[in-house]
Amino acid sequence: MQSVFVSGANRGIGLEHVKRFAAAGRHVYAAVRDPLAADALTPLAESGQVNLIAYDAEDLGAPDRIAAALQDKPLDLVFNNAGIYGGEKQSLAGIDPEAFMTTIRVDALAPLLLTQALLPNLRRGARKIIANQSSRMGSIADNGSGGFYAYRAAKAGLNMITKSLALDLGHEGFIVVALHPGWVKTRMGGPRAPVDVGDSAAGQAALLQRLTKTDSGRFFDYTGAELPW
């Protein structure tokens, strides 16, 4: 894997992936909302190992602008990692319709549009991997506690998008997977989360490295265990 694209790269799991990919000698396109405020990535950007890319998942015009900027650069991996939880009003006691739609837009539609725009770059890459950072909260089979309507619906949508991409692109040699990073200590996961960001990213990176075409269209946690849809 030579060249990778990671969204949501300025903090949390995305930032950890960028650091690890860069340390492993990959060239990284790190997509962040505000490149001028991505302080944690400045040293890597200055060294030339990382290209900072402006990307707001709510901006539906962003994917085409990014594709135009990348021109014909090959990508081995597009890692759709950026995501939001969807706010507090996600129970039957109160749903915030605007927040619900924003969550669907950021967590499901945006990864699809970004992937679509970057297909020409992936076609030039050797590995052709699309990794969608989902959550086991998006698993219908695993839903044993209800609630969390916006986040669950958005990640379930991302899971379905993952499966369709795998079917639509399989004949071209693409590998498309949905991933669950674990419950991870980040701003989203909170301080009580049992998994450190380093362990999550290391497990996901090892999994990405060993993926083969038979893994496409499947859902894996950070240890490599398969999850039910």
- The residues binding ligand NAP (CB under 6 A) are 8, 10-14, 33, 55-58, 81-84, 106, 133, 135, 180-181, 183-184, 186-189, 193
Least distance CB 39 / ligand NAP (angstroms) = 11
Can you read off the two tokens belonging to residue 174?
A: 């693409």
- Alpha carbon 35 to chain centroid, angstroms: 18
Distance CA 188, CA 84 (A): 8
Least distance CB 177 / ligand NAP (angstroms) = 14
Q: Is 75 exposed, middle or buried (0-12, 13-18, 19+ CB in 10 A)?
A: buried
Nearest residue (CB) to ligand NAP, 8 versus 125: 8
Least distance CB 4 / ligand NAP (angstroms) = 16
Distance CA 173, CA 89 (A): 41
Can you read off the two tokens belonging to residue 65?
A: 């602008």
Specify whether the CB–CB gap between 21 and 62 falls below 8 A.
Answer: no
Distance CA 188, CA 99 (A): 16
Least distance CB 74 / ligand NAP (angstroms) = 23
Nearest residue (CB) to ligand NAP, 89 versus 123: 89
Specify whether the CB–CB gap between 133 and 83 falls below 8 A.
Answer: yes
Going by C-beta distance under 8 Å and a sequence separation of 6 or more, which residues neighbour residue 50? Answer: 18, 22, 27, 28, 29, 30, 41, 44
Least distance CB 132 / ligand NAP (angstroms) = 9
Nearest residue (CB) to ligand NAP, 187 versus 210: 187
Least distance CB 3 / ligand NAP (angstroms) = 20
- Alpha carbon 47 to chain centroid, angstroms: 24
